[in-house]
Amino acid sequence: MKQFTCIFVFMICGFQLQAQYSGGGEANPGLPTHLEALKEFQDMRFGMFVHWGPVSLRGEEISWSRGREIPIEEYDQLYKEFNPELFNAADWVGAAKAAGMKYLVITSRHHDGFSLWDSRYTDYDMAATPYGKGVLKELAKECQKQGIKFGTYYSICDWYRPDYPVVYPDPDYSFNKEKTMDPVTREKMDQYTTFMKNQLRELIEEYNTFVIWFDGEWEWAWTHEMGMDMYAYLRGLKEDILINNRVDKGRAGMEDNSRDPRYAGDFATPEQNIGDFDNQYAWETCMTIGKQWAWKPDETLKSKKECIHTLLYTIGGDGNLLFNVGPMPDGRMDPRQINRLKEMGRWISMNQEAVYGTRGGPYLPTTRMVSTHKDYRIYLHLLKSSGKKLTLPLEKEIRIKAARFLVDGTPVKLKRNSDSYTLSLPGSLPDKTATVIVLELDKPASEIEPIKL
Ligand code: FHN
């Protein structure tokens, strides 16, 4: 009855959704993205990604080190040692906030199958560890207390479960492999899908996650039909839940942020790569602060400038940045990663008007600058000092009324040409990392089509 009710509710919601939220070019045939939830997501622009689990005890990569750097038998027993006594949700959420991040997405269950909460549907979870309790509940509550949106990553593939048909590591393992599913495998996948739906319902109904951040859809056992069914199921549980494009098979590669409307998903997820400018289909780059997703001792981190420029190129392309940290096995965040994030937070707090609630463009990103806009303002993020003149094409119908440095309000000299403006800049920019200039317009900046410089 429950299952029928869900489908029935979805059918009603589906039609309502069609009426209330049908924007142009929906990503999901017959079930448009919840546009208000999507706008709130895009306005946040910057989130914290957290990859964590018992594997952090060994400082190796989550899931991918199972059966490679760490023997499978050892990997699958790590949970018996996992006792993050120094975990403090307020510290984690405080670190995200200090970085200027507005949401947090944590690996609730990665490809290794371990659940970071006390799930009713598995014993391979935090309740079975010496720590003895889930961390997601505390994290979700702390996020709500500090005004950070709480989100959950969830892997479709599970190399731990015997009823999951794909094995890793395996000599002929490959991404996007094609393979016919025999009836026995199909039955196994149906059972496994029921397990996933049960766990996802826990995350939605008991942890109030705002997004299901799927991963692992590339394996042959997961099909387009399953992806569409899963998308509809989740939207039937919570109509404003956001679901990334890894619920289905529409990705054209790990770094891709293009959109194929035949496939389900509310936003694209280019990985370790800043997506191409796209202000038609929402996208979010996910990227590590170092090289590894899970914690690695003494790992080389990206520099402050690289971190901030990664954020600016992403929002300048009209995307979000989900920036990853790997907490330590004792439950603390790595102080080196926290310090780097604080440096990002200091820059963002001085320039936040040019980040939050903005959209990318109209000037397309170049090596010299990116731009964002909001209402009647364009924000130019100058990434390096390159000359005392900056010429900006602009259609005649729109006028720049004034220009100034965002941080201290110092006016910037403007010269109007027939179909452009020339700004006079100082030889060296006030902020060597990135300096923001605000252009005040006489019309909404959103009316300007993207401009290639
Ligand atoms: O295999 C995962 C990987 O471990 C990590 O979770 C990233 C980030 O989303 N996604 C997959 C592919 O790299």
| pLDDT, position 17 | 36
For residue 150, pLDDT over 50 is answered with yes
Contact 59/105 with Cβ under 8 angstroms?
no
| CA of 287 relative to ligand 1 center, distance in Å | 10
Cβ–ligand 1 distance for 154 under 6 Å, the answer no
Calculate the alpha carbon distances from 110 to 263, 319, 446, 451 in Å. Answer: 23, 24, 39, 40
Q: pLDDT, tens digit, for every residue of 285-326?
A: 999 999 999 999 999 999 999 999 999 999 999 999 999 999
Structure tokens at 287: 């990227």
For residue 4, pLDDT over 70 is answered with no
Look at ligand 1, atom 5, and give the residue with the nearest C-alpha.
293
Query: Could you tell me the pLDDT band of residue 183, with boundaries at 50, 70 and 90?
Result: very high
In terms of DSSP bridges, do strands 413-416 and 103-109 run parallel, antiparallel, or are they unpaired? unpaired
Percentage with pLDDT > 70 across the chain = 94
Q: How many CB atoms lie within 10 A of CB 426?
A: 12
| pLDDT, position 22 | 30
Pocket test for ligand 1, best of 156, 293, 320, 323 (most atoms within 8 A of CB): 293
| CA of 215 relative to ligand 1 center, distance in Å | 7
Strand order in the sheet with 413-416: 389-393, 420-424, 413-416
| pLDDT, position 437 | 98
Cβ–ligand 1 distance for 271 under 6 Å, the answer yes
| pLDDT, position 134 | 82
Average confidence (pLDDT) over 217-229 = 95
Structure tokens at 215: 């991963």
| Residue that wins the pLDDT comparison between 24 and 132 | 132
Structure tokens at 332: 């603390």
For residue 75, pLDDT over 70 is answered with yes
Cβ–ligand 1 distance for 286 under 6 Å, the answer yes
Average confidence (pLDDT) over 240-252 = 96
| CA of 153 relative to ligand 1 center, distance in Å | 10
Contact 150/198 with Cβ under 8 angstroms?
no
Whether cis (ω within 30° of 0) applies to the bond prior to 426 is no
| Residue that wins the pLDDT comparison between 30 and 118 | 118
Atom nearest to 107 CA in ligand 1:
6
Query: If we measure between CA atoms, which residue out of 366, 359, 360 comes closest to residue 390?
Result: 366
| pLDDT, position 169 | 93
Query: Model pTM?
Result: 0.93
Atom nearest to 64 CA in ligand 1:
4
| CA of 396 relative to ligand 1 center, distance in Å | 47
| pLDDT, position 28 | 72
| pLDDT, position 5 | 41
Query: If we measure between CA atoms, which residue out of 273, 289, 275, 288 comes closest to residue 343?
Result: 289
For residue 397, pLDDT over 90 is answered with yes
For residue 25, pLDDT over 50 is answered with no
Task: Write down the mean pLDDT value for the chain.
Answer: 93
For residue 237, pLDDT over 50 is answered with yes
How far, in Å, CA of 97 to CA of 345, rounded?
8
For residue 443, pLDDT over 50 is answered with yes
Q: Where are the beta strands (DSSP E) in 187-269?
A: 211-215, 242-243
Encoded amino acid at 413, one letter: K
Cβ–ligand 1 distance for 266 under 6 Å, the answer no
Calculate the alpha carbon distances from 276 to 116, 217, 259 in Å. Answer: 33, 22, 12
Query: Could you tell me the pLDDT band of residue 176, with boundaries at 50, 70 and 90?
Result: confident
| pLDDT, position 242 | 98
Scanning the structure block, which residue is given the tokens 């920036």? 323
Domains of the chain and any CATH numbers: 35-354 (3.20.20.80), 361-447 (2.60.40.1180)
Atom nearest to 110 CA in ligand 1:
6
How far, in Å, CA of 184 to CA of 302, rounded?
47
| CA of 270 relative to ligand 1 center, distance in Å | 11
| Residue that wins the pLDDT comparison between 10 and 365 | 365
Percentage with pLDDT > 90 across the chain = 87
Phi-psi region of 134 (alpha: psi -120 to 50; beta: other; left: phi over 0): beta
Average confidence (pLDDT) over 261-265 = 93
Contact 294/333 with Cβ under 8 angstroms?
no
Query: Dmax of the chain from CA atoms?
Result: 72
Pocket test for ligand 1, best of 63, 215, 324 (most atoms within 8 A of CB): 215
Structure tokens at 421: 């403006």
| pLDDT, position 19 | 30
Atom nearest to 111 CA in ligand 1:
1
Cβ–ligand 1 distance for 60 under 6 Å, the answer no
Look at ligand 1, atom 1, and give the residue with the nearest C-alpha.
216
| pLDDT, position 29 | 59
Cβ–ligand 1 distance for 293 under 6 Å, the answer yes
Average confidence (pLDDT) over 54-67 = 98
| CA of 244 relative to ligand 1 center, distance in Å | 14
Cβ–ligand 1 distance for 217 under 6 Å, the answer no
How far, in Å, CA of 217 to CA of 43, rounded?
27
